[in-house]
Each structure stands twice: as structure tokens, then as C-alpha cells.
Amino acid sequence: MTTITEIAPDTFRINTFISEANLGFSQFLIRDEEPLLFHTGMRALFPAVREAVAKLIDPATLRWAAFSHFEADECGSLNEWQGIAPQAAAVCSMVAKMVSVDDFASKNPAKGMVDGEEFSTGNHTFRFLATPHVPHNWEAGLLFDTTTGVLFSSDILHQNGDVAAITSESVTDRVRQSMLEMQASPLADYLPYTPKTDATLKRVAALKPSTVASMHGSIYTGDGEKAILEYADVLREVFGGNG
């Protein structure tokens, strides 16, 4: 089942829980003059995501399909969106644009973003942070809505399970447990831990988001800086060892 939750003004979480994976997948629609979807979801989810988006806006008016990195759950249905929304263009890092996205979805060229660059969709202003290899992949980046304080954090704060849409309780223990479960599964070594990981996460934390909108699990509202610094500790514990 696909659910819709408003997590901030005109900011909607569209979530589908996939029980076989014990994992939820969220896309975020920002309803604005130029509507923006953060994460398209996989191609298999496209009919469900399109139906949910249609409850909020006319899907043909989607202008931006933003995402962190080149992976099916981030941007798998980009071509399907470009098929129904004539103006829909990707928003991603310049690296993602140059290396993969303009080849994968060639109808409309992507808006390739550099670190610190801002753009507006009308009422919302977004800041892009280039975060190579955080959460993972060379081309990774994150989008921060400076208007609402929502950080679209991709796989950061990933929690397994069928959990509440939104919470103000710490999710750190649940994130740690989820990463340990990943390590014990065929999906081990999900995230890299490099000499730059901690510094990159400190830059992300310094945004001081009031809401951290992860693709997987509950949206966290509260002290986003603390949540991300605790997340950095979890990554060091789980992925930063010598084993």
C-alpha cells in the first residue's frame, strides 16, 4: 500500500512498504510553482507513485525529478516521468549528469548542480550539497530546502521495517540495528567508510535541518544536526572497522 503524509508545508512523503525486503521506499513531492519530486522510486513503483502524485498535482506538470545518486530507487523511473511530464528534468550532481543521467534519460538534459548551488521552484529555495560517497556512490549529493528546513537525506538515517511515517524520537538505535542487519545479509558493505566520510557528514549536520527526510524509514523531526552526528558515529562503528 502506498501512503501520503505531509511532513512540512506542501512537502509530501509518498511511501510504499515492500514486505519481502522489510523496507519502505519514500519519494517526496514539493508542491510549488515548479513541482519537484525527490526520488522517483524504481520503475516497478512508477504506477503507484504516479497515482499518489496525481492526488497532489497534475503529474504532467512535474518540472523537476531530483535525487541523490544513480540507483534504481533514486531515479529508476526518470524516463517514465519524462514520458508523461514533458518538462520533467533531473536535478542531480554535475557528476551524475555527466557520467550517467544525460545518457540514461536523454529526453530532457539534467540540471547538473555544483556544491552550494541554490535554485528556486517558486516558494521553496533549495541548496545542493555535493557529498561524494555519502551515503554512497561517487555522484552523490543531497538537497536541503532552506525554506522549510527539510533535508532530503537519501539513504542517510535508513531504517528497516514498517515504521511510522514521522517521529520526533531518536532513530539512532534503529538505524544502527538496520545497518547491522544489512551487514549480515547479501547486501553487506552497503555504505563505504572513507577518510572523508566524517567530514562530509559534519558538513551535512551543519545545515541544522529541522526535518531529516530519509528514503527508508521514519522521517525524523527535531535536532537534525544531532541526529546526523549520531549517524556518523554509527557509520564509524559499523562500517569503519578493520574487519
Binding residue for Fe ion, selected from 215, 219, 228, 234, defined by CB under 5 A? 215
Instruction: Candidates 4-12, 52-60, 66-74, 145-153: pick the segment binding Fe ion (CB under 5 A).
Output: 66-74
Q: Terminus-to-terminus CA distance in the chain, angstroms? A: 39
Instruction: Candidates 6-14, 55-63, 99-107, 151-159: pick the segment binding Fe ion (CB under 5 A).
Output: 151-159
| Gap between the Cα atoms of 179 and 224, Å rounded | 19
- Tell me the three cell numbers of residue 166: 514521522
Cβ proximity of 64 and 36 under 8 Å: yes
139 lines the binding site for Fe ion (CB under 5 A): no
Residue with smaller CB distance to Fe ion, 57 or 101: 101
155 lines the binding site for Fe ion (CB under 5 A): yes
73 lines the binding site for Fe ion (CB under 5 A): yes
Cβ 76 to Fe ion shortest distance, Å: 11
Cβ neighbors of 193 (< 8 A, separation 6 or more) are 235, 236, 239, 240
Give the distance from CA 152 to its chain's centroid.
5
How many chain residues touch Fe ion (CB under 5 A)? 4
Amino acid at 82: Q
Cβ 72 to Fe ion shortest distance, Å: 9
220 forms beta bridges with 167, 212
CB atoms within 10 A of CB 174: 19
Residue with smaller CB distance to Fe ion, 136 or 203: 136
Instruction: Candidates 15-23, 160-168, 207-215, 226-234: pick the segment binding Fe ion (CB under 5 A).
Output: 207-215
| Gap between the Cα atoms of 120 and 97, Å rounded | 19
Residue with smaller CB distance to Fe ion, 24 or 59: 24
> Using CB under 5 A as the criterion, which residues of the chain lie in contact with Fe ion when the complex forms?
71, 73, 155, 215
